[in-house]
Chain A
Amino acid sequence: MKKFKPTPKIVFASEKEMPMTPMSLGSMLYNLTGAWRNIKPVIDKAACIQCGICWKYCPDTSIYIEDEFPVIDYDYCKGCGICAEECPSKCIAMVEEEK
């Protein structure tokens, strides 16, 4: 489902290797941000009408369409709840994260 492989975090040993400005080099995919979340969207596939509205609204592009159904990417979803709010069939529940 995910198109990219996570990459390792870059740490420079010396200033000589660094660019002059603070900038990301290549991909930020090492930086999994899902841990920021304290509630997570859970989709009830049985009630889903496959409209794709959640996919369109997700501000972090953390919803993929797989076999015509939306799937949440929990590596990046921050639990904002916009998908649940916009879902016309109310099939997305926001559930508290537990450890």
Chain B
Amino acid sequence: MKKVMMGNHALSYGAMLARSQVIAAYPITPQTQVVELLSEMCASKALDAKFIKVESEHSAMAACLGASLAGARTFTATSAQGLALMHELLHWASGGRQPVVMGNINRAMAPGWSIWTDQNDSLSQRDTGWLQFYCASNQEVVDTVIQAFKISERFMIPSMVILDAFALSHTYEVVELPDQDKVDAYLPKFNPPFRLTPKEPHAFNALTSPEHYFELRYKLQKDMEKIPAAIEETGREYEKAFGRYLGQVEEYRCDDAEFVFVTSGTAGYTARVAVDELRKQGIKAGNLRMKVFRPFPFAKVREALAKVPKAAVVDRNCSYGHHGIFYQEIKSALYGEAKAPALFGYITGLGGRDITVDMFREIAQDTLSKPRPSEEIGWIGVKR
């Protein structure tokens, strides 16, 4: 069935089609419609789930963890300050191996108080052990929620499905909603390898001595390393069932490119328009959109960038005192590679400043005019 919907509602429909059983969430702009619609679905029984109202995002995640441990498929959503308030519990989710799926609407961190998009909220949670999927369309949001549950539950590692505030969260697009019975076949009932039940009592997540903690964390990382292959596998399986491939990166006109943008989120779609325009002017541009950030798609990034002489990483975030975060990570992935492009890092669009085709044109011009970057960070669109 085709439906016109906003990005936030795409998250809600994804959670509904995945048959989430427990939803605990606290509203925050620009995420509010996600939980608004889910609470309506729970009230009308369109979704057979418990909706738990809580007093903070910290409690929302705590409630999700209890429900998940009891064996329920669990969903929540938040944004920026709310995600930061959850920080402690994010570690509990991954360390406790509980496959909660969460929507996060990328919103700039205060102060200055902002409700507009950038990626510093989710990227600040980089090391919490959550999978991170960055979406660029409402269709991708619905599809990714379903795939995220599948991967999270297979490896018992939680997932964050991330979309840009307003640029996606409040933008209406046509979405093909997958059939429920096909989703059920793709995503069977959640059957965890351990659960909280009086039938077989265990104490969970208690004091763990140096005798065992190290090994638990080793296992978490080892399972993370299996996920890139699992994303490919489940992405192909999704394509077979629904006609849309869900991979780790999206390559757009990269094959013969002399220069590619590396992008994420909705900027990755604007970049495609810029690529087409640059190609009309005779510049062989391409776009590599990062769909998955954790686990980092090392193989895909190395493979895609080995073919091109130059690449410009466009970050809508900043690791203050260092570089843009995607730029850092892509550089580290390419270090020591025999075939790697000259890499340029640009920061733009912080706090919801629009990232336009003109900006991509400016980036392309800068990158193509010199053999290597002339400054640590290229700032695009800043008034100076």
Contact = CB atoms under 8 A, between A and B. Distances in A.
A21 B216 contact: yes
A18 B203 contact: no
Nearest to B216: A22
Interface in A1-33: 11-12, 14-15, 18-25, 28
A25 B212 CA distance: 13
A22 B215 contact: no
Given A12-B215, A15-B215, A15-B218, A20 B208 contact: no
Contacts of B205: 21-23
Contacts of A19: 193-194
B376 interface: no
A22 B95 contact: yes
B216 A23 contact: no
A17 B321 CA distance: 43
A47 B220 CA distance: 57
Interface residues of B, number: 21
A20 B156 contact: yes
B370 interface: no
B169 to A, nearest CB: 33
Contacts of B95: 21-22
B27 to A, nearest CB: 31
A15 B206 contact: no
A21 B97 contact: yes
Contacts of B215: 12, 14-15, 18
Nearest to B220: A20
Contact of B202 (A11, A14, A20, A25): A25
A11 B223 contact: no
B337 interface: no
A11 B208 CA distance: 11
A21 B218 contact: no
Interface string B205-244: 1101001110110111001000000000000000000000
A25 B97 CA distance: 16
Nearest to A15: B215
A35 B240 CA distance: 61
Contacts of B156: 20-21
A18 B206 contact: no
The B interface is mostly helix, strand or loop, or mixed, namely loop
A23 B219 contact: no
A23 B212 contact: no
A18 B208 CA distance: 12
B320 interface: no
A22 B156 CA distance: 13
Interface string B188-208: 000001100000001111101
Given A15-B218, A28-B203, A22 B211 contact: no
A18 B213 CA distance: 11
A23 B193 contact: no
Given A15-B218, A28-B203, A20 B97 contact: yes
Contact of A18 (B96, B202, B216): B216
B219 A22 contact: no
B211 A23 contact: no
Nearest to B215: A15
Contacts of B203: 23-24, 28
Contacts of B223: 20
A21 B212 contact: no
Interface in B334-373: none
Nearest to B222: A15
Contacts of A11: 211
Contacts of A14: 215
Given A14-B215, A18-B216, A21-B194, 14 more contacts: A12-B211, A15-B219, A18-B212, A19-B194, A20-B156, A20-B220, A21-B96, A21-B204, A22-B205, A22-B216, A23-B202, A23-B203, A24-B202, A24-B206
18 contacts: A12-B215, A14-B215, A18-B212, A18-B215, A18-B216, A20-B216, A20-B219, A21-B194, A21-B205, A21-B216, A22-B204, A22-B208, A22-B212, A22-B216, A23-B203, A23-B205, A24-B203, A24-B206
Closest 8 pairs (CB-CB, A-B): A15-B215, A24-B203, A21-B97, A22-B208, A23-B202, A23-B204, A20-B97, A24-B202
Interface of A: 11-12, 14-15, 18-25, 28
